[in-house]
């Protein structure tokens, strides 16, 4: 079985859980003898090439004269994205976006006529244009390669998936890692993104959601037929156990938040919970690791609550810094407002850190050794943290059982389910052909 997979990010260049997940799944599928062509918008050159044959989209010449591609291009509506919805944005991109806006319309015609395309590899202001161009490349790859099934991760690649399906006639599986409802919240939905998500799922032969939480959203808000939606929970890559032991520099207990400082992640609830705890217990420090559009607002709030001597911002952490942060932590908190899955708590547990997670997270569906609280229940979050800091048997139990629990959440297992999903889709198609 051979899969044409459209991913977006690939280690080591990842800005969020999406890249980690598609990489883990790819490795898991290879263990089950699934071949694949993994397509990313831009290869940085140092990807782990063992996992997949990486086709650099920039290296694919587009023969725009091919009829079906032009057909697809004709069917594609060019959409321009609103300004304040930017998933996984870096501060450095922020300024660039405004520059890009000026050029994007003019460039469009020019780009269609070109032979090769360079993709930025990161999301930007001209995101919709990139999505469209990526779709054309997708169709081109589909025409030149042999495969059995197409798999597209998140809305950014759905157009490519649809184009590939049209060109090849092969079935399409779309993988919902997040919905616009998670990213933006119900009141700030970007209708264009919503439209692409919906179209992708409607065109797909199978929709994989990363949690039942996401599955419910997809049924309720996107009106997708429940019969073709299947939940396959994410997993986590195993790591080498011999982590370095750090000397702790502070005598206080450390409670950590790690994630983008955006609406979706609920960082403000962490700040409020910190205040409640510090009122009673001086022997704690709070660390907020990450960056995002709420950064300034959060700093102001921390200052206003007068807890700044015990509340620390680290900015964006990556790789070894994340591991180091976990080693210094006594409790990890993920108060996400809407988290389709949520990989970070698993990373924390793997590093022997007990976790408090919001009930509004997909990972809450698979974890038993975690405290689960509603994200808005600041008192509940505070109480859970306090319990873990003060009642030793609880944290000991979580550490002991948590590592084992996480070790059992293997990509290999998730990939097996994904492969079974491919098989059932292919079987359906054969039966339909008869």
Partner 1 sequence: MQSVCLYFQVHQPYRLKKYRFFNLGNDHYYYDDYLNKSIMERVAAKSYIPMNNLLLELIQKHGKAFKVSFSISGSALDQFQEYTPQVLASFKQLAQTGNVEFLAETYAHSLSGMKSKEEFVRQIKMHQEKIKELFGVSPQTFRNTELIYSDEIGETIAEMGFKTMLTEGAKHVLGWKSPNFVYTNAINPRLKVLLRNFQFSDDIAFRFSNQNWNEWPLTTDKFSDWLGQLNPKEQVANLYMDYETFGEHQWTETGIFEFMRNLPEKILKKPNLCFKTPSEVSKEYQPIAAIHVPNAISWADEERDLTAWLGNEIQDEAFDKLYAIEVAMRNCQDPSLQKDWLKLQASDHFYYMCTKWFSDGAVHQYFTPYGSPYEAFINFMNVLSDFYIRLEREGKSRQESDIESLQSPQEDVFNMLGKFTNVKLKKMVKDLSLGELSALFFESDQAIRDKMMKIIGKKELNKIQEYRETSNALSSKEIESYKEDLRKKIARLP
Which one, 188 or 400, has the nearer CB to partner 1?
A: 400
Q: Are 134 and 157 in contact (CB under 8 A)?
A: yes
> In the bound complex, what is the minimum distance in angstroms from residue 373's beta carbon to partner 1?
9
**109 phi and psi, to 5 degrees?**
-60, -45
Only segment of 148-156, 194-202, 326-334, 391-399 that touches partner 1 (CB under 8 A): 391-399
> What residue has token string 């759905």?
158
Which one, 130 or 339, has the nearer CB to partner 1?
A: 339
Q: Which of 76, 219, 276, 322 binds partner 1 (CB under 8 A)?
A: 276
Structure tokens at 158: 């759905």
> In the bound complex, what is the minimum distance in angstroms from residue 335's beta carbon to partner 1?
16
Q: What angle do CA 429, 141, 148 make, to 5 degrees?
A: 25
Is the peptide bond preceding residue 12 cis, with omega within 30 degrees of 0? yes
Q: Contact between 396 and partner 1 (CB under 8 A)?
A: yes
Which one, 84 or 393, has the nearer CB to partner 1?
A: 393
Structure tokens at 357: 């997670």
* Residue 165 neighbours by CB under 8 Å, 6+ apart: 142, 150, 171, 172, 203
What one-character DSSP code corresponds to residue 245?
P
Residue among 403, 313, 306 at smallest CA distance from 354: 403
Any idea how long the chain is?
A: 434
Site string for partner 1, 280-309 (x = CB under 8 A): x-----------------------------
Q: Contact between 390 and partner 1 (CB under 8 A)?
A: yes
> In the bound complex, what is the minimum distance in angstroms from residue 269's beta carbon to partner 1?
15
> In the bound complex, what is the minimum distance in angstroms from residue 348's beta carbon to partner 1?
16
Q: Are 367 and 405 in contact (CB under 8 A)?
A: yes
Only segment of 174-182, 198-206, 274-282, 340-348 that touches partner 1 (CB under 8 A): 274-282
Q: Contact between 37 and partner 1 (CB under 8 A)?
A: no
How many angstroms from the chain centroid is the CA of residue 185? Answer: 16
How many angstroms separate the CA atoms of 84 and 82, rounded? 6
> In the bound complex, what is the minimum distance in angstroms from residue 168's beta carbon to partner 1?
44
Q: Contact between 384 and partner 1 (CB under 8 A)?
A: yes
What CA dihedral angle connects 422, 425, 427 and 431, to 10 degrees? -170
> In the bound complex, what is the minimum distance in angstroms from residue 116's beta carbon to partner 1?
54
Q: Contact between 368 and partner 1 (CB under 8 A)?
A: yes
Q: Which of 203, 365, 383, 407 binds partner 1 (CB under 8 A)?
A: 383
Only segment of 73-81, 175-183, 263-271, 374-382 that touches partner 1 (CB under 8 A): 374-382
Beta bridge mates, 289? 258, 315
Which one, 123 or 375, has the nearer CB to partner 1?
A: 375
Residues at the interface with partner 1 (CB under 8 A): 276, 279-280, 368, 371-372, 379-380, 382-384, 386-387, 390-394, 396-397, 400
């Amino acid at each position: 079985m051979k899969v044409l997979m459209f991913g977006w990010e690939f280690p080591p260049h990842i800005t969020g859980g999406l890249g980690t997940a598609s990489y883990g799944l790819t490795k898991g599928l290879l263990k089950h003898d699934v071949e694949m062509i993994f397509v990313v918008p831009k290869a940085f050159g140092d990807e782990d090439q063992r996992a997949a044959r990486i086709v650099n989209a920039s290296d694919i010449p587009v023969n725009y004269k091919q009829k079906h591609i032009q057909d697809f291009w004709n069917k594609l509506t060019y959409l321009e994205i609103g300004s304040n919805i930017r998933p996984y944005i870096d501060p450095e991109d922020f300024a660039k976006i405004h520059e890009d806006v000026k050029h994007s319309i003019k460039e469009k015609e020019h780009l269609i006529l070109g032979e090769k395309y360079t993709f930025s590899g990161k999301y930007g202001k001209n995101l919709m244009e990139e999505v469209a161009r990526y779709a054309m490349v997708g169709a081109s790859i589909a025409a030149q390669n042999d495969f059995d099934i197409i798999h597209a991760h998140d809305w950014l690649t759905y157009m490519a998936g649809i184009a590939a399906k049209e060109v090849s006639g092969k079935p399409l599986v779309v993988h919902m890692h997040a919905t616009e409802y998670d990213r933006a919240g119900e009141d700030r939905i970007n209708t264009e993104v919503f439209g692409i998500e919906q179209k992708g799922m409607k065109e797909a032969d199978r929709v994989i959601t990363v949690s039942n939480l996401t599955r419910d959203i997809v049924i309720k808000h996107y009106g997708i037929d429940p019969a073709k939606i299947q939940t396959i929970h994410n997993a986590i890559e195993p790591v080498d156990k011999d982590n370095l032991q750090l000397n702790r520099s502070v005598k206080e207990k450390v409670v950590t938040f790690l994630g983008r400082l955006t609406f979706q992640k609920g960082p403000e609830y962490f700040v409020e919970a910190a205040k409640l705890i510090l009122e009673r217990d001086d022997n704690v420090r709070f660390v907020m690791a990450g960056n995002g559009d709420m950064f300034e607002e959060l700093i102001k709030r921390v200052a206003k609550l007068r807890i700044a001597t015990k509340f620390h911002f680290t900015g964006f952490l990556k790789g070894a810094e994340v591991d180091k942060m976990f080693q210094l932590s006594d409790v990890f908190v993920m108060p996400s407002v809407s988290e389709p899955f949520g990989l970070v708590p698993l990373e924390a547990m793997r590093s022997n850190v007990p976790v408090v997670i919001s009930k509004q997270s997909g990972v809450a569906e698979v974890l038993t050794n975690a405290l689960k609280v509603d994200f808005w229940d600041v008192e509940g979050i505070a109480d859970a943290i306090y319990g873990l800091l003060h009642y030793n048997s609880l944290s000991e139990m979580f550490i002991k059982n948590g590592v084992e629990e996480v070790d059992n959440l293997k990509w290999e297992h998730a990939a097996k389910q994904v492969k079974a999903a491919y098989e059932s889709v292919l079987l359906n198609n054969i039966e339909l052909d008869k």
